[in-house]
Amino acid sequence: MFKQKHYLALGAVTLAALLIFSLPPRATSRLKLAISSLFLPLFGLVHTAQQLPADLADSVLPRRELLKEIYNLRRENEQLHVQELQAVATGRENDQLRSLLAWQKQTPWKLKLANVIARDPANWWRTIQIDLGSRDGLKENLPVLTSDGLVGRVSSVGFTRSQVILLGDPNCKASALVENPAHDMGVISASGPLDTSLAELSYLSGSANLKSGQSVVTSGLGGIFPKGIPIGQIVDARPVEFGLYSEARVKLSANLGALEQVWVLFP
C-alpha cells in the first residue's frame, strides 16, 4: 500500500510543517505577511469592484439631490464648528485646572482611517486585516476603534497591511471601567464563538453593583488603551465562585460583524 514516493511526500511535508513551526516568532510573522501579500492584487480588485457601483451612482446623481446634500453638510459643518469652539474652551479650562492640580497634561488623540480588507477565515479567531501598515506609522498594540466604540488592537504590522485582534478574541483583553457610582473595574475578555456583539467582563469584585444598561469604558490601565473609550453596555451580571467575584456580559458598542472602516489611534 505504501510506496517509497508516498513516504517521501509524507516525510517532506511533515518536515516542512515542523520547520515552519520551529521558526522564531518574528520570522514566522514576517513569513506570514509575505505569504498573505500574494492576496494583495485580489484585495485591490475587490476594493475597486466595490467602489465602482458607488462611483457610477455618484455620476448619475441629480443636481437637486447634490444641492440638498451640500446644504445638509454645510449645516452640519456649522454645528460642528460651534461644538469645536465649545470643546476648545472646555479643553483650555481643563488644561488650566490640570496645571493648578499639577496633573499631567492630556495629549489629544491622533487618528488614521483604515479600510477593512479581510476577515479571519478561521471560525475560532476574531481578527481583521486593515490597509495601513508600517509605511503609515503603524506599530503593534495601537488601539483600533470606530465612532461607536473600541474595536480591538493592532497585533501584527506589515509594510502595507496590519492584523487587528478584535474584542471578544481570547488574545484581546482590555481593562474596563463600569460607569456606576462605585466605578467597578474588570477585564474585557472572550465570550462565545457565535455572537460577535457580546464580550465577557470578568474579575469584577463580588460586591459590584451592576445593572443592565450601565456603560462600560476603557479604564486606561494596562498601557494599551487610553482611558474613556466606550466599549459597550452591561447586559446582565452574575456572581462567580460562590460570590467571590462577579462576571457580566457586555453588549459591544461597535458592530464587529459589519466593520468596513476603522480608526487607528496613535499616542
Partner 1 sequence: MKMNVLQTILIFVAAFLAVFGEATFPLLRHWLGAQVNLLPAIMVYAALNANISVVALLAVFGGLWFDSLSANPLGVTILPLLIVGFLIYLRRELILRELPFAQIILGAVASAVVPVLTILILLTGGKQPLLGWGSLWQSFVMIVGGAIATPILFALFEWCQHALGYQPRAETSFRPDREIRRGKK
Task: Select 65 or 260, whichever has its Cβ closest to partner 1.
Answer: 260
Question: Long-range CB contacts (< 8 A, 24+ apart) of 58-67?
Answer: none
The set of cell numbers assigned to 4 is: 517509497
Min CB(157)–partner 1 separation in Å: 14
Min CB(40)–partner 1 separation in Å: 11
Min CB(95)–partner 1 separation in Å: 41
Min CB(8)–partner 1 separation in Å: 9
The candidate with the shortest Cα–Cα distance to 150, out of 132, 129, 170, 168, is 168
How far apart (Å, rounded) are the C-alpha atoms in residues 245 and 236?
Answer: 14
Phi–psi pair at 234, nearest 5 degrees: -65, 130
Task: Select 31 or 80, whichever has its Cβ closest to partner 1.
Answer: 31
Q: Are 87 and 109 in contact (CB under 8 A)?
A: no
The candidate with the shortest Cα–Cα distance to 155, out of 24, 17, 32, is 32
Q: Which helix (H) or strand (E) holds 30?
A: helix 25-36
Task: Select 162 or 178, whichever has its Cβ closest to partner 1.
Answer: 162
Using CB atoms within 10 A of its CB, is residue 156 exposed (0-12), middle (13-18) or buried (19+)? buried
- Please give the residue ranges that form the binding site for partner 1 (CB under 8 A): 1-2, 5-6, 9-10, 12-14, 16-17, 20-21, 23, 28, 31-33, 35-36, 38-39, 42-43, 46, 117-127, 129, 155, 163, 165, 168-171, 190, 192-195, 257-258
Q: Are 198 and 168 in contact (CB under 8 A)?
A: yes
Min CB(53)–partner 1 separation in Å: 16
Min CB(204)–partner 1 separation in Å: 20
The set of cell numbers assigned to 15 is: 518536515
Task: Select 191 or 218, whichever has its Cβ closest to partner 1.
Answer: 191
Three-state DSSP class for 5? helix
Min CB(262)–partner 1 separation in Å: 15
Three-state DSSP class for 236? strand
Task: Select 146 or 171, whichever has its Cβ closest to partner 1.
Answer: 171
Task: Select 18 or 102, whichever has its Cβ closest to partner 1.
Answer: 18
Q: Are 162 and 266 in contact (CB under 8 A)?
A: no
CA 60 centroid distance within chain? 35
Task: Select 19 or 101, whichever has its Cβ closest to partner 1.
Answer: 19
